[in-house]
Amino acid sequence: MLTRISRSGLAALMVMMLAGFGLATAAPSASADTIIPIHWVVNATTTIKSVNMTVTVPPGSFVGQVDLNTGALTGNLTLPPASKTISLLGVPLATATFSMKETGPITGHVNLAAKTVTVNSSFTFNITSATLSFAPWLNLVGNSCRGVTPITVNMSGPLHLTGASTFTSTYTIPKFTGCGFLVTPLLNLIIPGPGNTFTASFAPPAP
């Protein structure tokens, strides 16, 4: 998957879980900010609307902190590359690998009274490889296939104080560049556009 998916997006969930952890373990001080560190496991999927393809991203992580006095949330979201095999009538034809990497720290806000979280994030969207089933050694897109502009994923939703918090957002995939003389225009006819979805679930690591 995508891709930041990146792709899938992804920081809001972690934020929510962070805030819940903070509520359960610390009380804010009246004279000084109470900073709660967060380290959550992220499970994400992204669906590329134009080709109706859903990519499941391997588990990633969110590492950051929340200020219980101001509600400010900051951190970094790391998602591994995700691969998707494209088949026709059950026969594998090609495999594509996507990656989403944040362009800067994730920011957001936790409203402890309302138990809600908002998160703002920006990612690069890359296609790191595309291979045909009969020629898996040949990378059709080279090593520099990427979106011409970052993807913006803004998420918000309720914070669950126990268990995982899951959020979904839509995002726009930009045009691609650096994918090869023939492949770049083909990708730009098929992939870019709005209405793609990114879903992420944030939860504490298993004990």
Q: Ranked by mean pLDDT, which of 84-88, 90-94, 128-132, 165-169 comes out on top?
A: 128-132
Spell out the residues 6+ positions from residue 42 whose beta carbon is closer than 8 angstroms to its own: 10, 13, 14, 59, 60, 61, 62, 77, 79, 200, 201, 202
In the chain, pLDDT over 90 holds for what percent of residues? Answer: 49
The ranges assigned to domains in the chain are 11-203
28: pLDDT strictly greater than 60:
no
- What is d(CA 64, CA 57) in angstroms, rounded to the nearest whole number? 20
pLDDT for residue 3: 35
Domain 11-203 coded CATH 2.40.40: no
**Closest by alpha carbon to 194, among 167, 177, 175?**
175
Spell out the residues 6+ positions from residue 185 whose beta carbon is closer than 8 angstroms to its own: none
Of the candidate ranges 2-6, 73-77, 131-135, the one whose mean pLDDT is the lowest? 2-6
Strands 193-203 and 116-132: unpaired
Q: How many other C-beta atoms can be found within 10 angstroms of the C-beta atom of residue 98?
A: 28
pLDDT for residue 161: 67
pLDDT for residue 167: 84
- What is d(CA 139, CA 124) in angstroms, rounded to the nearest whole number? 20
Q: pTM of the predicted model, to two decimals?
A: 0.76
DSSP 8-state class, residue 50: G
- What is d(CA 89, CA 84) in angstroms, rounded to the nearest whole number? 16
In the chain, pLDDT over 70 holds for what percent of residues? Answer: 82
pLDDT digits (tens, 9 = 90+) for 149-200: 999 998 888 887 677 888 889 999 999 999 998 899 999 999 999 999 999 8
Q: Could you tell me the two tokens for 8?
A: 């899938």
Between 59 and 26, residue with greater pLDDT: 59
CA atoms within 13 A on the CB side of 77: 42
pLDDT for residue 130: 92
Distances from the Cα of 153 to the Cα of 29, 113, 120, 185, 197, angstroms: 32, 24, 6, 25, 10
